[in-house]
């Protein structure tokens, strides 16, 4: 579900707005704007040099210099091989090829660490994709694999520009806009991955790559005036003014419009999406919070008894690695790698112009690449600390950008916040209270995926719990609407002329890959649920039952049985002689309403079951597989569990799906108040007692 190019069209705009863009923008704008203001943005040598010297851990993300080295090796390999293309290469993804887990866990600071990069190389004119691996020490390409025909990586920055330019120049598009009484130059073109809708057979037969053609489908929204016509603090939100009944399909291989679907006309609502300020919050004085509590060195974060590494991955976004908790003299492992793995957003309206709109935001758009610069008092409090991210330009190195990288400032935020009562008790005799007020550490990032903005918080608590919260906001995907009611598309707005807009029902499913390593990698999985044990004398009684989950597979929540799952250590026990463990505790959930045989839902099997368990396999990273974009078959978790490997005393990975069924309401329009969903990873028998018992009493001094 992608946006975009209103900003880009006539890229000159980028330059004029660069100051404000740089401050509150995402990587995509920086790439699209082409001109990267300020030394920190463009991969200049000095910044890169500093980055390298701070390399501290084998899981540190690639530095600007390493990305440049990877590009160099790839380009010279392609130059040297006459069967490989020389021009029009795109690089949808360049990322750290993570070293083996055993190496990382054994590695000690100061020891050598080999560095490798994984690179995707797309050649649109020939519709070919290669996966490569580069040894950054020898600067050599050690793997270059051409992918099966039709394998499509996520869309990349300049493909949105391409599609926007192609659509804008298309006479059919311009005529259709004029026939609606709209100025085509004031239309915002929203670029989407095409979903599963096959091309009409006749069309497919007439184009070079048929159904394997790399495509995008474009929607139209009305800005109604040039961007500069709006006051910067009162911009036109294009998404609130859908131009309904109109979809353009673009062949990205030949940069050509191949289909215009212009099925019906509906009036376009006329609102900007703004309102004068009528609530003024008294700015909070930046809390003199001792930032000392958060110790940040390189990518290593230490906060009280917690320690972990953070990095922003171009696809997954924030990755939390090597999570440990200081317990007595031991730094005990809790998890090896935690990250978002896929997002699936199906729309529920029975309309051929919408049935293909079911986004896989991680695999079709590289959600990490769409990360945004975090801003104080907008995304995070004033006490936040930040980490920048360095990403590849999908064009690779160029005259304007010799390193071929872009730095996104303040991409990761780290801050503490009050978390309410941590624990409390009152003496029944003296009524003395013994309480502790809590604080928690939030590691956050957010991604702007077209009309939606997702913010992800990994929250580390003093009681050993990790809470994972996803905030959903942005603009619902709106539909031009007439007076009469329409199934699955409730009206959410009306303008002064009585023109309506609707927001079709949809769902959000988010899957997280949780490589928990409870006291080490060798674990087993238990399903715990409550069972009533009623008897004549004890009609109130209930107990729990635990089932050993022996094989790879999936499990569903069952709130009636308080079902949840434990990942337990197979090598260490607590003082009660029980395996030490962590539990996955469900919170908000959703269940897919699409038919299980719906092609998109079959690709998003992860949405059909909440918990999936697999044996650790570094290649298994994405819940819907490596390449869900235009994929014709289901991949990912459904495939990973097929061989039903044993989970007994093995290195396990849990995959957990949360969801939100969005029954849109007028309050969601013109921009959505943030909704939040999540789950918790809770110590269960990991500690001998309440690990927060030793937290000092902040209230004592009062």
| Contacts with Cu ion, 643-662, as mask; x by CB under 5 A | -------------------x
Cα–Cα distance measured from residue 227 to residue 225, given in angstroms and rounded to the nearest whole number = 6
Residues 444-483 that bind Cu ion (CB under 5 A): none
In whole angstroms, the minimum distance from the beta carbon of 510 to Cu ion comes to 12
- Give 397 or 659: the residue with its C-beta nearer to Cu ion: 659
Rg (CA), the chain: 26
Retrieve residue 529's tokens. 């649920």
- Give 214 or 662: the residue with its C-beta nearer to Cu ion: 662
- Give 117 or 510: the residue with its C-beta nearer to Cu ion: 510
Q: Could you write out the DSSP letters of every residue in 290-310?
A: -GGGEEEETTEEEETTEEEEE
Residues 657-686 that bind Cu ion (CB under 5 A): 662
Residues 372-391 that bind Cu ion (CB under 5 A): none
| Contacts with Cu ion, 53-92, as mask; x by CB under 5 A | ----------------------------------------
In whole angstroms, the minimum distance from the beta carbon of 490 to Cu ion comes to 13
Instruction: Say if residues 225 and 231 touch (Cβ distance below 8 Å).
Output: no
Cα–Cα distance measured from residue 371 to residue 84, given in angstroms and rounded to the nearest whole number = 32
Cα–Cα distance measured from residue 374 to residue 78, given in angstroms and rounded to the nearest whole number = 38
Counting residues that bind Cu ion (by CB under 5 A) gives 1
| Contacts with Cu ion, 204-223, as mask; x by CB under 5 A | --------------------
Retrieve residue 63's tokens. 């530095």
- Give 359 or 441: the residue with its C-beta nearer to Cu ion: 359
| Contacts with Cu ion, 223-262, as mask; x by CB under 5 A | ----------------------------------------
| Contacts with Cu ion, 607-646, as mask; x by CB under 5 A | ----------------------------------------
In whole angstroms, the minimum distance from the beta carbon of 477 to Cu ion comes to 8
In whole angstroms, the minimum distance from the beta carbon of 260 to Cu ion comes to 28
SS3 call for 670: coil
- Give 337 or 662: the residue with its C-beta nearer to Cu ion: 662
In whole angstroms, the minimum distance from the beta carbon of 668 to Cu ion comes to 8
Cis preceding-peptide flag for 160 (omega within 30 of 0)? no
| Contacts with Cu ion, 4-33, as mask; x by CB under 5 A | ------------------------------
In whole angstroms, the minimum distance from the beta carbon of 531 to Cu ion comes to 36
Q: Which residue is nearest to Cu ion (CB)?
A: 662
Backbone angles phi, psi at 233, to 5 degrees: -95, 5
In whole angstroms, the minimum distance from the beta carbon of 405 to Cu ion comes to 33
- Give 337 or 357: the residue with its C-beta nearer to Cu ion: 357
Residues 558-597 that bind Cu ion (CB under 5 A): none
Q: Could you write out the DSSP letters of every residue in 452-493?
A: EEEEEEEEEETTS-EEEEEEEEE----EEE-SS--TT--EEE
- Give 472 or 525: the residue with its C-beta nearer to Cu ion: 472
Residues 6+ apart with CB under 8 A from 503: 476, 477, 478, 479, 489, 490, 492, 664, 668, 669
Nearest to 438 by CA among 417, 454, 464, 413: 417
Residues 308-337 that bind Cu ion (CB under 5 A): none
Cα–Cα distance measured from residue 663 to residue 667, given in angstroms and rounded to the nearest whole number = 11
| 587-604 core/surface letters (b: 16 or more CB in 10 A; e: else) | eebbebebeeebbbbbbb
| Contacts with Cu ion, 407-426, as mask; x by CB under 5 A | --------------------
- Give 452 or 460: the residue with its C-beta nearer to Cu ion: 452
In whole angstroms, the minimum distance from the beta carbon of 346 to Cu ion comes to 11
Other beta carbons less than 10 A from residue 50's beta carbon: 11
In whole angstroms, the minimum distance from the beta carbon of 130 to Cu ion comes to 36
Instruction: Say if residues 184 and 178 touch (Cβ distance below 8 Å).
Output: yes
In whole angstroms, the minimum distance from the beta carbon of 445 to Cu ion comes to 19
Backbone angles phi, psi at 19, to 5 degrees: -55, -60
In whole angstroms, the minimum distance from the beta carbon of 479 to Cu ion comes to 13
Residue that is written with structure tokens 């910044």 in the block: 47
SS3 call for 370: helix
- Give 477 or 549: the residue with its C-beta nearer to Cu ion: 477
- Give 357 or 662: the residue with its C-beta nearer to Cu ion: 662
Cα–Cα distance measured from residue 137 to residue 134, given in angstroms and rounded to the nearest whole number = 9
Instruction: Say if residues 624 and 608 touch (Cβ distance below 8 Å).
Output: no
- Give 168 or 662: the residue with its C-beta nearer to Cu ion: 662
Backbone angles phi, psi at 673, to 5 degrees: -60, 140
In whole angstroms, the minimum distance from the beta carbon of 481 to Cu ion comes to 17
The DSSP call for residue 207 is S
| 645-657 core/surface letters (b: 16 or more CB in 10 A; e: else) | eebeebbbbbbbb
- Give 57 or 662: the residue with its C-beta nearer to Cu ion: 662
Q: Which residues bind Cu ion (CB under 5 A)?
A: 662
């Amino acid at each position: 579900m992608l946006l975009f190019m209103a900003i880009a069209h006539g890229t000159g705009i980028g330059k004029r707005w660069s100051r404000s863009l740089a401050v509150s923008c995402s990587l995509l704008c920086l790439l699209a704007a082409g001109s990267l203001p300020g030394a920190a943005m463009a991969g200049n040598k000095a910044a890169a040099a500093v980055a390298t010297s701070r390399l501290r851990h084998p899981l540190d993300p690639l530095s600007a210099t390493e990305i440049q080295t990877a590009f160099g090796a790839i380009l010279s390999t392609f130059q040297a091989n006459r069967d490989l293309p020389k021009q029009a290469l795109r690089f949808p993804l360049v990322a750290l090829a993570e070293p083996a887990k055993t190496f990382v866990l054994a590695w000690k600071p100061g020891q050598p660490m080999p560095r490798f990069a994984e690179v995707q190389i797309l050649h649109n004119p020939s519709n070919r994709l290669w996966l490569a691996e580069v040894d950054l020490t020898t600067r050599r390409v050690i793997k270059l694999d051409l992918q099966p025909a039709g394998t499509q990586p996520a869309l990349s920055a300049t493909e949105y520009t391409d599609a926007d330019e192609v659509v804008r120049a298309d006479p059919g598009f311009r005529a259709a806009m004029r026939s609606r009484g709209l100025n085509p130059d004031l239309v915002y073109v929203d670029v989407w991955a095409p979903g599963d809708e096959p091309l009409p057979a006749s069309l497919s037969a007439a184009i070079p790559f048929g159904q394997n053609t790399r495509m995008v489908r474009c929607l139209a929204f009305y800005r109604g005036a040039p961007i500069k016509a709006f006051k910067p603090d009162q911009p036109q939100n294009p998404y609130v003014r859908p131009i309904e009944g109109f979809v353009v399909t673009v062949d990205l291989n030949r940069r050509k419009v191949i289909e215009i679907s212009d099925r019906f006309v509906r009036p376009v609502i006329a609102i900007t999406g703004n309102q004068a300020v009528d609530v003024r919050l008294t700015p909070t004085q930046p809390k003199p919070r001792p930032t000392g509590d958060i110790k940040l060195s390189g990518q290593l974060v230490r906060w009280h008894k917690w320690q972990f590494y953070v990095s922003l991955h171009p696809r997954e976004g924030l990755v939390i690695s090597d999570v440990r908790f200081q317990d007595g003299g031991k730094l005990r492992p809790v998890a090896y790698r935690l990250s978002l793995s896929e997002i699936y957003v199906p729309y529920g309206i029975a309309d051929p112009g919408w049935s293909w709109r079911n986004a896989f935001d991680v695999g079709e758009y590289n959600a990490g690449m769409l990360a945004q610069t975090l801003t104080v008092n907008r995304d995070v409090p004033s006490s936040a600390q930040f980490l920048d991210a360095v990403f590849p330009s999908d064009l690779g190195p160029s005259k304007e950008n010799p390193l071929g990288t872009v730095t996104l400032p303040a991409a990761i935020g780290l801050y503490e916040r009050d978390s309410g009562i941590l624990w409390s008790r009152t003496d029944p005799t003296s009524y003395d209270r013994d309480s502790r007020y809590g604080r928690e550490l939030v590691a956050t990032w957010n991604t702007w995926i077209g009309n939606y903005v997702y913010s992800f918080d990994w929250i580390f608590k003093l009681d050993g719990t990790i809470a994972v919260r996803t905030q959903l906001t942005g603009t619902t995907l709106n539909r031009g609407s007439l007076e009469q009611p329409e199934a699955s598309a409730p009206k959410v707005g009306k303008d002064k002329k009585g023109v309506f807009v609707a927001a079709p029902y949809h769902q959000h499913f988010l899957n997280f890959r949780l490589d928990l390593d409870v006291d080490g990698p060798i674990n087993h999985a238990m399903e715990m649920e409550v069972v009533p044990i009623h008897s004549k004398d004890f009609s109130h009684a209930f107990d729990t039952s635990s089932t050993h989950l022996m094989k790879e597979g999936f499990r569903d929540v069952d709130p009636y049985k308080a079902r949840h799952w434990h990942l337990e250590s197979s090598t260490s026990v607590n003082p009660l002689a029980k395996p030490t463990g962590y539990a996955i505790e469900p919170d908000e959930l959703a269940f897919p309403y699409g038919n299980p045989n719906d092609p998109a839902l079959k690709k998003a099997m992860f949405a059909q079951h909440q918990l999936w368990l697999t044996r650790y396999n570094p290649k298994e990273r994405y819940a819907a597989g490596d390449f869900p974009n235009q994929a014709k078959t289901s991949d990912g978790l459904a495939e990973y569990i097929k061989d039903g490997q044993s989970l007994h005393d093995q290195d396990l990975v849990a995959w957990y799906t949360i969801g939100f069924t969005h029954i849109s309401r007028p309050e969601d329009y013109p921009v959505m108040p943030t909704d939040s969903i999540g789950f918790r990873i809770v110590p269960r028998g990991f500690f001998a007692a309440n690990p927060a018992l030793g937290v000092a009493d902040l209230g004592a001094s009062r």
